[in-house]
Amino acid sequence: MRFGGLAALADVSLRVESGEIVGLIGPNGAGKTTLFNVVSGLVRPTAGVVRFRGTPIGGLPSFRIARLGIARTFQLVRILPALTVAQNVLVGLYFGGRARAADGGLVAARRLLAAVGLEARADEPARTLPLADRKRLEIARALATRPALLLLDEVLSGIRAVEARSLMELIRAIRQDGTTVIMIEHIMKAIMTLSDRVVVLHHGEKIAEGPPGAVAASPAVVQAYLGAASS
């Protein structure tokens, strides 16, 4: 993925197996969110192929990619603040074709909110939620589309440690229910605890991939982070 003369992603190749949690890490500006944007259809890749379940999807509009089974959250949470918490989830249900029940999908919406710990706030305006609950709401809305693959962009950032631990348990439960997860995160303890495999980007290139312990010990990864810290 190039933006003018800048190569935001250069020959990045990776494969994610069904049922995995894959951690995507790297210093700021490494290309992590750009990779999510390419996969989810927010930007069209300059070159290369993106395949989902064997089907090329690179360059498809984001709504078509979502309906194929890929959902995402955003680093800067994008809830619909004027709607209630339940109505935010209904948007995902309608988008995914699940809100055709006689109740308009409210039972399904409340079930999803219960799964993420927000059932008690279903009728409150979404703008009243604190950050951790906004992140939970964005996850619930994404899950409402019934994704096979969920992309989580720094879902643990900016919240207290106790809230982060609770969200980590939620991510484990999502995988347990059959959804594959790729997560961008800067909290190394969380990534190393949750991930089956870790992929490291630096300056738009993949510099390491493997089990969390092996990646953490990689000299290239250590240098990437120490270099970024000292620059």
- In a domain, residue 75? The reply is no
Q: How many domains does the chain have?
A: 2
How much is the pLDDT for 225?
Answer: 84
Quick one: 203 and 221 in the same domain? yes
Quick one: 85 and 162 in the same domain? no
Residue type, 30: A
Report the alpha-carbon distance of residue 19 to residue 120 in Å, rounded: 30
pTM reported for the whole predicted model: 0.93
Helix (H) or strand (E) holding 40: helix 32-40
- In a domain, residue 26? The reply is yes
Quick one: 177 and 151 in the same domain? yes
Quick one: 226 and 152 in the same domain? yes
Residues of the chain with pLDDT below 50 are 102, 230-231
Quick one: 86 and 25 in the same domain? no
- In a domain, residue 74? The reply is no
Report the alpha-carbon distance of residue 190 to residue 90 in Å, rounded: 30
Residue 128 belongs to what domain range? 80-146
CB within 8 A of 68, min separation 6: which ones? 52, 53, 55, 57, 60
CB within 8 A of 94, min separation 6: which ones? 105
Quick: pLDDT tens for 153-194. 999 999 999 999 999 999 999 999 999 999 999 999 999 999
Quick one: 108 and 32 in the same domain? no
How much is the pLDDT for 105?
Answer: 83
- In a domain, residue 59? The reply is no
Quick one: 158 and 142 in the same domain? no
At which of 146, 167, 193 does a domain end?
Answer: 146
In Å, how far are 22, 88, 101, 109, 132 from 117, measured between CA atoms?
Answer: 24, 15, 23, 12, 11
